[in-house]
Structure 1
Amino acid sequence: MTNSPASATQNQALLDALNHCVAACEHCATACLGEEHVRHMTDCIRLDRDCADICALVARLVARGSEHAKHLIKECIEVCTKCANECAKHNHPHCQQCAAACRACAEACREYAG
């Protein structure tokens, strides 16, 4: 990974998307736990937690310039996409916001990975 201005801007855009996704997923999981029919939200909660964890890990790897970031970004794209698809099934505002954040994060990861 290089330190050119273009790559620094790309890194920052990716870090912003990853960190926004972490926050959206954490908020969604917590809000889902408070829903009346929480049993119907278990897949959403599990994916929210997985997505938040992998996005946080990838953000740390990108921030430190690790060569392993590009390998894990592929998995991050997959988890973000699954989480977005699951959250999109629910009409709760927190789920819809999370789905949007996950889609944006997956796209930022795709752009970064080239």
Structure 2
Amino acid sequence: MERRDFITALGGATALVTTALAAAAPALAQQADHAHTHGHDQAGGAHDHPPQFAALAAASAHCVSTGNDCLRHCFGMLAMNDTSMVACMRSIHDLVAACAALESLAAVNSPHTRILAKAVGEICTACAAECGKFPAIAACRACQDSCLACAAECKKVAA
């Protein structure tokens, strides 16, 4: 097949697809407007799937945020050749990774949330202890407070 024949055939196929889509558009629009029920309560036209772990997801997200702030401080100290916060930095790294995973599971009502919450609670408690060694540093105090709050939420969920 020569290039000219190929382009002609391609143009014809494109026109055929465009015509098919144009013909199907009203049916697709009607289907999109149709509220599917699947037997769920349709109050307000939306499915009701409330978050089961909203407080845990929020506490985990806050831990990630304050943990990153504290981690940034630790990196700054390390850049100045001050290694006094290395253990804290390791603890915060674990905290941020674990809390991010927990937040993700909690946000979608994962059945694995309770299992992970137990481990994350322990990680939060350990991180709070490390951050507690630096009470004069605002980022460490904020991270410690956040860790304690998240550990308490983890304990509620894991029970």
Q: CA deviation at 1:16?
A: 0.9
Q: Which amino acid aligns with 2:66?
A: A
User: Where does residue 53 of structure 1 map in the other structure?
Assistant: 97
Q: CA deviation at 1:38?
A: 2.9
User: Where does residue 68 of structure 1 map in the other structure?
Assistant: 112
Q: TM-score, normalised by structure 2?
A: 0.63
1:11 counterpart = 2:53: yes
Q: Distance in 2 between matches of 1:38 and 1:111?
A: 38
Deviations 1:38-59 (A, max 9, x none): 3010011111110011001011
1:29 counterpart = 2:71: yes
Higher relative contact order (CA 8 A, sep 6+): 1
Q: Distance in 1 between matches of 2:61 and 2:106?
A: 12
1:107 counterpart = 2:107: no
Large movers: runs of 4+ above 4 Å: none
Deviations 1:44-83 (A, max 9, x none): 1111110011001011111122221111111100000000
State the identity as a percent: 36
Q: Which amino acid aligns with 1:96?
A: R
Larger radius of gyration: 2
Taking only aligned residues, the RMSD between alpha carbons, in angstroms, comes to: 1.7
Q: CA deviation at 1:113?
A: 2.2
Secondary structure, aligned partner of 1:49: helix
8 A Cα contact 2:53 2:109, kept in partner: no
Q: CA deviation at 1:103?
A: 0.3
Secondary structure, aligned partner of 2:74: helix
8 A Cα contact 2:115 2:158, kept in partner: no
Instruction: Could you tell me which runs of 5 or more consecutive residues in structure 1 were left unpaired when the two chains were aligned.
Output: none
